[in-house]
Structure 1
């Protein structure tokens, strides 16, 4: 049996802070080749990615997706054990990536290797592993999916192994995610003396009026599988050091996490139209730029969701909540390729100093993934 916990330790010892590969994908590629997987490096614009398939191209296939890149460790002196030591103590593995998500990758790689070695399926198992999930996300899973389309590779369904459980294994699986869009609003006015406002046009007055209108009422009340959309003002700035000068320019940043009642395009139209209205009324020119990092999506409950949920229930004794909460993940890209759900470890220590994971949870996750593969192919 492949030891997913030991593999987690070896991956943690690769300091693969985005976008550095640091040997993590090489380690996995060697392991998968030895198990009979066809392995390809699919690097794009300096971003490292790995594709591996066991079985025939075009056969019925089950996919896993994950990442080996990690966020920076921060102040090294704040860690109880060095962040890339993979220290093991009292049944717990310590290190950056222990939770998010080298353990998840180790669990599905180990499960896949054991499954195809011990009970070769009538079909294919595909693994897509990126080094760009914690970064911009432009050349990671997107690059892998583009490469797969060019080569005629296909996953029928996919699990993304991100941490999904708030406190206990089996509490939650993700069947969708909210969309995310960031707006940068620029206000162009006319500079002037604060004592003579009639000779100026204050961009801050127009901008704050606009922002107040955005937060005056909720965007929606939520839907069957999604909470209400949320709008947050994250920055307001004018760069003005003088208290007696009306500034010429001001700017703001707004982030919206939205449900399936909206799209990035519909929200962009709405905020742009509101900006135009304020511009006409105030004489201050407001412009809106949008950066859409992901659209809201939902994998409808059905056979695939039921399969994953059933195995999790049997192995943990808990009936996982079907959730769409949290931030974004690479599932937002996979959903354009095939039905996708997310299930992984407890995520309470991810991105924290002293990130850590119990060995027993990794082993349990490996068993869950193995059981899912067995059930899918039988």
Structure 2
């Protein structure tokens, strides 16, 4: 018997009302764990602490002798920003007609709730699964995918045969490939002096601008285009330096964001950037260093892969429309899970609207309920395929 519609909506409202803004995911993990408490004889519930008040949650059910399906969603949400810009309270879970409002309704507590409910319905119906479903609920996706990184390092994805991530796609698209991310910082150390005697100092900003000009020439050489994702993207987004207007600056920093493609693995980019830093440091007065923050590899894939075809088949049956394979310009937890030892593909499909990270973020209740049916049918279909 299906969980009644009112309870499905209530579960999502409960999740939205937990203020897991870039933190406090343990409260979400605790709530989800209580939903599985009645079935502890048939599920394994694991809390994997990342930091204080920040727990990943792993819930496993089914037959370990068969195929292993991973389903994943993150528990953190971004800050709601200016509350005056909201018509509906960001943590109220208010329902108006077919819309449920609140921070994270689209990105991505609706997808996470739908996956959990699909598992609960399979348990309530006592479905004999020929394989295993493993829920991987992660911390910190919005700020660096470090929950997924931790679970990957601990081996929770090593035995998977496939992975579905419930990031918002609208349930009419399935993402099979995505860009990676490299955020990096270049620090320039110079020597301060009075601006009336610049010859006595080393201008850290001048040296940083030399790097700026040469790195743009360097990146332009990576000219290969991905047929779906396009080319490599590089943008310098922050530059700061100096102490005051009449002093030669002794320090300066440049911060840049790169969006990578599968043709250029991150290690290739690191080497090119570090070689440039090394060459510049051979010049008199140059003292540059580079650091990275939360780099993510691009995720390769094929639109005709068996996992994509199965998503399309089940999606058409449940939603009554064609599911279109697409690429994504943004990174997700799949970048970290791709480092696991197993040879499996990940795809992204989940309920959502185009209001993620915006005021009055919402999810269509109809779409949310459809996604529950999709995940439930997809899991059964996947596990019944031959290993």
TM over 0.5: yes
Offset of residue 66 of structure 1: 0.7
Within-5 A mapping of 1:352-367: 352-367=358-373
Tell me the residue number matched to 2:291.
289
Cα distance in 2, alignment partners of residues 122 and 253 from structure 1: 49
Tell me the residue number matched to 1:134.
142
Counterparts in 2 of 1:208 and 1:104: CA distance versus 1, 3 Å? same
Offset of residue 108 of structure 1: 1.1
Matched, 1:160 2:165: yes
Q: Say which SS state the counterpart of residue 164 (structure 2) adopts.
A: strand
Cα distance in 2, alignment partners of residues 121 and 364 from structure 1: 21
1:5–1:103 contact (8 Å) kept in structure 2: no
2:63–2:130 contact (8 Å) kept in structure 1: no
Tell me the residue number matched to 2:248.
246
After TM superposition, the structure 1 stretch with the greater mean CA deviation from structure 2, 31-40 or 367-376, is: 31-40
Relative to the length of structure 2, the TM-score reads 0.87
Relative to the length of structure 1, the TM-score reads 0.89
CA deviation string 1:300-326 (max 9, x = no partner): 342112111222244445444433323
Matched, 1:89 2:104: no
Within-5 A mapping of 1:1-378: 1-2=2-3, 3=5, 4-21=8-25, 23-35=27-39, 36-46=42-52, 47-118=54-125, 119-138=127-146, 140-149=147-156, 154-165=159-170, 169-170=171-172, 172-216=173-217, 218=220, 219-242=222-245, 244-281=246-283, 283-300=285-302, 301-337=304-340, 338-378=344-384
Offset of residue 83 of structure 1: 1.6
Cα distance in 2, alignment partners of residues 360 and 290 from structure 1: 42
Offset of residue 343 of structure 1: 0.6
Aligned length: 370
Offset of residue 334 of structure 1: 1.8
Q: Say which SS state the counterpart of residue 290 (structure 2) adopts.
A: strand
Counterparts in 2 of 1:181 and 1:87: CA distance versus 1, 3 Å? same
1:19–1:48 contact (8 Å) kept in structure 2: no
Q: Say which SS state the counterpart of residue 201 (structure 1) adopts.
A: coil
Counterparts in 2 of 1:154 and 1:201: CA distance versus 1, 3 Å? same
Q: Say which SS state the counterpart of residue 22 (structure 2) adopts.
A: coil
Counterparts in 2 of 1:5 and 1:148: CA distance versus 1, 3 Å? farther
Cα distance in 1, alignment partners of residues 76 and 121 from structure 2: 24
Offset of residue 229 of structure 1: 1.0
Cα distance in 1, alignment partners of residues 345 and 277 from structure 2: 37
After TM superposition, the structure 1 stretch with the greater mean CA deviation from structure 2, 272-281 or 194-203, is: 194-203
Offset of residue 291 of structure 1: 3.0
Offset of residue 77 of structure 1: 3.4
Q: Say which SS state the counterpart of residue 53 (structure 1) adopts.
A: strand
Cα distance in 1, alignment partners of residues 149 and 26 from structure 2: 21
Offset of residue 264 of structure 1: 2.3
Cα distance in 1, alignment partners of residues 14 and 201 from structure 2: 63
Counterparts in 2 of 1:375 and 1:328: CA distance versus 1, 3 Å? same
CA deviation string 1:165-200 (max 9, x = no partner): 4xxx40x22213222112211222333444544444
Q: Say which SS state the counterpart of residue 269 (structure 2) adopts.
A: helix
1:233–1:253 contact (8 Å) kept in structure 2: yes
Cα distance in 2, alignment partners of residues 292 and 75 from structure 1: 27
Cα distance in 2, alignment partners of residues 189 and 23 from structure 1: 47
Offset of residue 347 of structure 1: 4.0
- Unpaired runs of at least 5, structure 2: none
Counterparts in 2 of 1:38 and 1:280: CA distance versus 1, 3 Å? closer
Counterparts in 2 of 1:44 and 1:238: CA distance versus 1, 3 Å? closer
